[in-house]
Amino acid sequence: MNNDKLLLTKDHIWIKPLEGNHIQVGVSDYAQDLLGDIVFIELKENEQISSGDPFGVIESVKTASDLVSPCDLKITRINSELLDNLTDVNDRPYESWICEVEALSSYETMSIDEYEKLVG
């Protein structure tokens, strides 16, 4: 995957724009490194989520953390293959999309370079 097309949020979520107002989302390399081995992801299906609210939870052997919505959204597709093999989140975080969503508002993002300076 070409990481140049990915955008990141201050809440450690990456975004890949798709067609129209649809985007794929995943967690940053920094976030998965802090969490450790991912063991469970739960998503809020079939509901509209407001920007800044959790759209799911990601759990590791060390801790659990909210997946913070980068915009008003509704989950339209879940990557069930990833949920069956969560080690991919740790091994290839920028290739492991968690879900596709319909973005119902704008979102604030930064490039991977800007993000890496932030989390430095």
Average pLDDT of the residues of the chain: 94
pTM value is: 0.91
Residue 91 CB-density burial (10 A; 0-12 exposed, 13-18 middle, 19+ buried): exposed
Task: Tell me the per-residue pLDDT of 57-108, one tens digit each, with 9 for 90 and over.
Answer: 999 999 999 999 999 999 999 999 999 999 999 999 999 999 999 999 999 9
Structure confidence at residue 1 (pLDDT): 47
CB atoms within 10 A of CB 28: 21
Q: Which residue's structure tokens are 């060390």?
A: 62
Domain positions in the chain are 12-108
Q: How confident is the model at residue 17 (pLDDT cuts 50, 70, 90)?
A: very high
Does CATH number 3.40.50.720 belong to domain 12-108?
Answer: no
